[in-house]
Amino acid sequence: MIPTTRPRRAGRLGAAAAVRASLAALAASLAACALLGCASKEARVGLFLYNQADPYIEVFARQIRDESNSAFLAVQFDAGNSQLIQNEQIEAMIAKRPALMMINPVDRLASHALIRRLKAEDIPIIFFNREPLAEDMAIWDRCYYVGARAEQSGQMQAELAMSLFGNDPSGLNEYDRSGDGVIQVIILKGEQGHQDAELRTRELLRSFEARGFSIEILAIEVANWKRDEAYEKMGALLRSHQDRLELVASNNDAMALGAIMRMRQQGFFKDDDQSGKVDRFDDSWRPVVGIDGLVEAEESIREGYLYGTVKNDSLSMAKAMVELARRAIGGPDSGELHYRLQDEKYIWIDYQPFIR
Amino acid sequence: MSGTATRRLSSMTKEQWKELLVKNAIYIVIFMIIMFIIISEPSFLSANVFRNILTQSAVRLILAFGVGGIIILQGTDLSLGRSVGFAAVITGSLLQRADYASRFYPDMPALPLVVPLLIACAVSAFFSAINGWVVAKFKIHPFLATLGMMITLYGVLSIYFASGAPGPQPIGGFDTRYTDFVIGSTLGIPNLVIYAAIISVIVWVLWNKTTFGKNLYAVGGNPEAAKVSGVNVSKTIILVYVMAGILYGIGGYLEAARIGSANNGTGYGYELDAIAACVVGGISFSGGIGKVSGAVAGVLMFTVISYGMTFIGMDQYFQYIIKGVIIVAAVALDAKKYIKKT
């Protein structure tokens, strides 16, 4: 009897113990999260991200937290790309009386309601990454924006290309493969109607024009910021423009990398000496320029495929946000601001060109 | 003798106690989570938080009533989110401030607030009626019928969204009459809570005091039996879907103002929240079972938990795990009850 009952009892106990153990583990992890989230040391600042799954935002948020180290405690929220969730997270944070909120809106138009709401609560706001409308920013004097000007990224991208072509509009160098004094370009556009896509494209073209470079647009193709879509569309584009193509300018790095992938399949970017690096002076090399500064893009630049990119300087933005937050909260070491505060509202951080 | 009687009695109470525990396990777990939230952040117990939770539950509750009726019919509705999104975009396009820079209809005069509401409800009801008709007429499983509708509606909604004067841009700059109507308060009570309360009463009456309600439970419990006893099954199904559509229309109307903007992605995934709340509130996927109070409880519990977890600063990804486990646990218990029933 004993041998038959024992294992059963033991089994039951085992199951119960397992349940208890997992409950304990759950409780412990809950407690850990809670402690991490709400250990109140100094002023609390809400840090609201539009989507943590965006690698750029993830890195940006980490930089903000690192910079803030002793100035305040950043409590981070991820809206998972839902403005509704973000609104609810902001409501929850208001109930805890934070000293300030740093908001990366999911939808810039929703900022109107947010500014009105936080003005009523007298909680200052620093917006970042997505800029609210100027008319909404004007609602309150304690809301700020830290970011970059989309126009500048297009201008810098054009400058990268122009310097490669010799910086002299009347005497293009060997990269003008046809030698006709005109740069034949394919432009990969993010999204039709998207503010950044429109501005980057417009400023790129405008910069060439302003410096007197003649360009011929072979195609402006919309690839929705996506690498695979750019890869697909570049196939058709190369079929018709392969022989004349001299430059590819992409609204972001992902599309530039997709285009490069397709160009390699079509015989561009030969590595004749098998050095592992593409020879820029080889006849099959064509400059491709992106924007964003993805890690993959830097890698591609090192390997010699991508010519250059324009980086969003998120570290400087994070520094500016923390200084601005200190000043707005008015802590003991507040006051000093190393960045120009335009109209008492905006801090503009320059993009940084990146080439090999 | 008395010894055995006592033993039987004690063993029975133990069984009953156990059954009670199993039956309510989900509520016990939720209660524990709430207690945990309160212990780690006592300021959770405040009038302000209570108000926020009620406000945030309001639209979810209205949507849960819509899909709840369909679940009682042994159905489901995947097109809920897109339907809400369409209603939100329609409302937003019709109620922009006159001085707003990029208006959807540049020359639109200021409409009475009720006009966009009626249009949004009519459009949602129309598409939902198609769902009902397809389900009733072709006996297609509601999962598939509404999956098709979900995709179709996204197409229709995106075409409408792109047809505005500024192109496919998010719609914002709402008329303050409209936003005050939705997110304002009356006598200290948030308007959204008042609207949700009114709709709860209406739905309660419809489900419990009308022939429509009786037919709903009859068809949901056993469509064959309902048919034999003279219920018009097809008509009942279509009516339930139409009612759901109207509720989605109201939900979308309120949602645009609550978010402060609308686009063709608005409402994405809402069906899953609403269905989950219904299930946790005891509306059974096996049909014929479900109460208004259940939907209210389900929505409130979900909101309390997600609000509370956000309140104590818990990581969003961790929250997903907890919510997912709660849903599966609720369904498992529901299935257990169902097995016992047959």
The pLDDT-based confidence of B340 (bands split at 50, 70, 90) is low
The reply to whether A78 touches chain B by the CB within 8 Å rule is yes
> Using N-to-C axis directions, what is the helix angle for A314-329 and A55-67, rounded to 10°?
40
Helix H or strand E encompassing A187? strand A183-189
A194 in the same domain as A129 = no
Nearest to B40 among A38, A88, A95 (CB): A38
pLDDT in tens, A281-304: 788 899 999 998 888 899 999 988
How many residues does this entry show for chain A?
356
Q: Is B155 helix (H, G, I), strand (E, B) or coil?
A: helix
The pLDDT-based confidence of A334 (bands split at 50, 70, 90) is low
Cβ–Cβ gap B259/A110 under 8 Å? yes
- CATH number of the domain that residue A106 is part of: 3.40.50.2300
Cβ–Cβ gap A33/B48 under 8 Å? no
Cβ–Cβ gap B260/A114 under 8 Å? yes
Per-residue pLDDT averaged across A234-245, rounded? Answer: 93
pLDDT in tens, A9-19: 333 444 444 44
Per-residue pLDDT averaged across A205-234, rounded? Answer: 93
Q: Using the predicted structure, report yes or no on whether residue B8 has a pLDDT greater than 80.
A: no
Contacts of B299 in chain A (CB under 8 A): none
Give me the percent of chain B exceeding a pLDDT of 90: 54
Read off the tokens for A54: 């965006």
Apex A142 CA angle, A139 and A145, nearest 5: 85
User: Which residues have a Cβ under 8 Å from the Cβ of B189 and sit 6 or more positions away?
Assistant: none
A298 in the same domain as A252 = yes
The reply to whether A112 touches chain B by the CB within 8 Å rule is yes
Read off the tokens for B200: 């709860």
pLDDT in tens, B15-59: 788 777 777 777 788 888 889 889 988 888 888 888 889 999 999
**pLDDT, position B286:** 86
pLDDT in tens, A161-198: 999 999 998 888 989 989 899 999 999 998 877 778 89
Please give the tally of structural domains in chain B: 1
Cβ–Cβ gap B101/A112 under 8 Å? no
Q: 10 Å Cβ neighbour count for B8?
A: 10
Residue A259 counted as domain residue: yes
Please give the tally of structural domains in chain A: 2
Q: Using CA atoms of B267, B270, B271, B274 in order, give the dihedral in degrees to the nearest 10.
A: -140
Distances (CA, A) of B99 to A190, A195, B10, B96, B108: 30, 21, 75, 8, 11
Contacts of B40 in chain A (CB under 8 A): 31, 34-35, 38
A154 in the same domain as A143 = no
Q: 10 Å Cβ neighbour count for B98?
A: 10
Helix then strand then coil, % of chain B, to nearest 5: 75, 0, 25
Helix H or strand E encompassing B50? helix B47-72
Mean pLDDT of chain B: 88
Residue B302 counted as domain residue: no
The pLDDT-based confidence of B311 (bands split at 50, 70, 90) is confident
A143 in the same domain as A275 = no
In sign, the C-alpha dihedral spanning B290, B292, B294, B299 is positive
Amino acid sitting at position A203: E
The pLDDT-based confidence of B214 (bands split at 50, 70, 90) is very high
Phi-psi map region of A18: left, alpha, beta (phi>0 left; psi -120 to 50 alpha):
alpha
**pLDDT, position A27:** 53
Q: State the best of A47, A88, A103, A139 to mutate against chain B, taking most chain B CBs within 10 Å.
A: A88
Q: Using the predicted structure, report yes or no on whether residue B212 has a pLDDT greater than 80.
A: yes
Out of A35-44, A224-233, B332-341, the most confident range is A224-233
Cα A229 to the center of its chain, rounded Å: 19
The pLDDT-based confidence of A4 (bands split at 50, 70, 90) is very low
**pLDDT, position A192:** 77
A266 in the same domain as A189 = yes
A197 in the same domain as A134 = no
A196 in the same domain as A53 = no
Chain A segment 25-44 residues within 8 A of B by beta carbon are 27, 29-31, 33-38
pLDDT in tens, A90-143: 999 998 889 999 999 998 888 998 999 999 999 999 999 889 999 999 999 999
The reply to whether A193 touches chain B by the CB within 8 Å rule is yes
Nearest CA to CA, how far is B3 from chain A (Å)? 24
For residues A332-355, one letter each, b for 16 or more C-beta atoms within 10 angstroms of the residue's C-beta and e for the rest, the string is eeeeeeebebeeebbbbbebebbe
User: Which residues have a Cβ under 8 Å from the Cβ of A207 and sit 6 or more positions away?
Assistant: A154, A155, A158, A159, A162
